[in-house]
Amino acid sequence: MNIEHIKKTDFEVAEQIELELKRQQETIELIASENCTSLAVMEACGSVLTNKYAEGKPHKRYYNGCEHIDVIEEICQKRACELFQMEHANVQPHSGAQANMAVFMATMKPGDRVLSMDLSNGGHLSHGSPVNFSGLYFDVKSYGINEYGEIDYEEVRKMAIEHKPRLIICGASNYSKIIDFKKFREIADEVGALLLADIAHIAGLVATGLHPSPAPYADFVTTTTHKSLRGPRGGIIMCKEEWAKEIDKAVFPGMQGGPLEHIIAGKAVALLEASKPEFKEYAAQIIKNAKALAQGLMDEGLDIVGGMTENHLMTLDLRKTGKTGKDMANVLELVGITANKNTVPNDPQSPFVTSGIRLGTPAVTTRGFKEEDMTEVAKIIAGAIYASDNEIALKNLRERSLKLCKKHPLYE
């Protein structure tokens, strides 16, 4: 990674970038929403495109000099539509949250009703949390997961019939089972609701056919580009042609100003990468690694919410160990593993403490971790949890995690 110019002009920032690179190289990244993007994607994001204002759409801009920007944005749109089999793509959302905001704005008036998954059950802030704009300006009803860690579709159906939402949202930030988009469509049709599938987490799996696609069923598909899809930090909205105008208007001038064309170029590069056979192998390995990690943890006597995972992530349920998610996420950091605390169903702890830890495999799979490495990761995690007060044991575990990092170098 070349930062020679920053080093010359800004020692303080350069130093932190170098330290962050070292941190990424020397820790096992299990935050389920993170990944390590390619150098090609990073080059696009660090390119001259950052200089350009391009408010509007390709060929309908408010600024001149957009001839190359237009081509890049059109390439990106085309690749998104092809990869996810959708009719229209707006690739301008700065983030996943803004992609969802734009769908809200395009489809509803303030006060209209939404049915979505509860945040503490695995949903996302932007799906109607009371502290988010989506919960402040819309009337939100939420469904959860049952004790098996699964969506109870009959429960969703009953709620939809009772509340008659204008929009139903499926897709989650922490859900380890396959989502039945067809069933959501049937429920939406039964009550005349629109359906938004937010595939932020599983986009890489959907793109490769390793998770069923919402394309035949959803009116709108939103995604982030930086999670399992392995692109730059950003969002995309896809929809049927009949909604294209409303969606585009909601993004600009609705809620954003100039699009980040350097990031859009990065998204285009990532979408091309995701269409290659190597990416399908990568996505398959993400799932194999998640299953190996879950199995390894269960073999060590730990519980996983809902048992075996069907995708790239899982929640470790710490209730029977008597430890909390907050404490154990900190202990894992001591042994060189990054993960985040998370609530479990019927969590006795507050959302700030929690009884769970969410673990995901997209980032380590990018580094080349295989099943046997995940078994070792499971042993390190279990060791850290069981010996969380034993400094010497934790030190030894740190050595073992560093060894795995050295075995699979990153950006070297």
Ligand X SMILES: *Cc1c(COP(=O)(O)O)cnc(C)c1O
Contact footprint for ligand X (CB under 6 A): 33, 95-97, 100, 124, 126, 171-173, 198, 200-201, 224, 235
**Nearer of residues 77 and 222 to ligand X, judged by Cβ:** 222
Going by their DSSP bridges, the two strands 167-170 and 337-338 should be labelled as unpaired
**What is the full DSSP assignment across 369-382?**
--HHHHHHHHHHHH
- Nearest-approach distance from CB 383 to ligand X, in angstroms: 29
**Nearer of residues 35 and 388 to ligand X, judged by Cβ:** 35
Rounded to an integer, what distance in angstroms lies between the CA atom of residue 338 and that of residue 352?
17
- Nearest-approach distance from CB 333 to ligand X, in angstroms: 21
**Nearer of residues 66 and 172 to ligand X, judged by Cβ:** 172
Does the annotation mark 224 as catalytic? yes
Does the annotation mark 53 as catalytic? yes
Does the annotation mark 233 as catalytic? yes
- Nearest-approach distance from CB 128 to ligand X, in angstroms: 11
Picking from 225, 122, 219, the residue whose alpha carbon sits closest to that of residue 166 is 219
Picking from 186, 197, 182, 133, the residue whose alpha carbon sits closest to that of residue 160 is 186
Which strand (E) or helix (H) includes residue 262? helix 261-274
Q: Which residue is nearest to ligand X, using beta carbons?
A: 96
> At 38, phi and psi to the nearest 5?
-75, 160
Picking from 180, 134, 198, 187, the residue whose alpha carbon sits closest to that of residue 165 is 187
Residue among 78, 233, 240, 326 flagged as catalytic: 233
Residue among 27, 224, 324, 361 flagged as catalytic: 224
- Nearest-approach distance from CB 103 to ligand X, in angstroms: 11
- Nearest-approach distance from CB 259 to ligand X, in angstroms: 15
**Nearer of residues 80 and 200 to ligand X, judged by Cβ:** 200
Sort 241 into a burial class: Cβ within 10 Å, 0-12 / 13-18 / 19+: exposed
**Nearer of residues 38 and 173 to ligand X, judged by Cβ:** 173
Does the annotation mark 321 as catalytic? no
Strand partners, 117: 143
Token pair of 248, please? 């585009």
Residue among 79, 166, 227, 341 flagged as catalytic: 227
Residue among 118, 198, 248, 317 flagged as catalytic: 198
Which residues are marked as active site? 53, 55, 198, 224, 227, 233
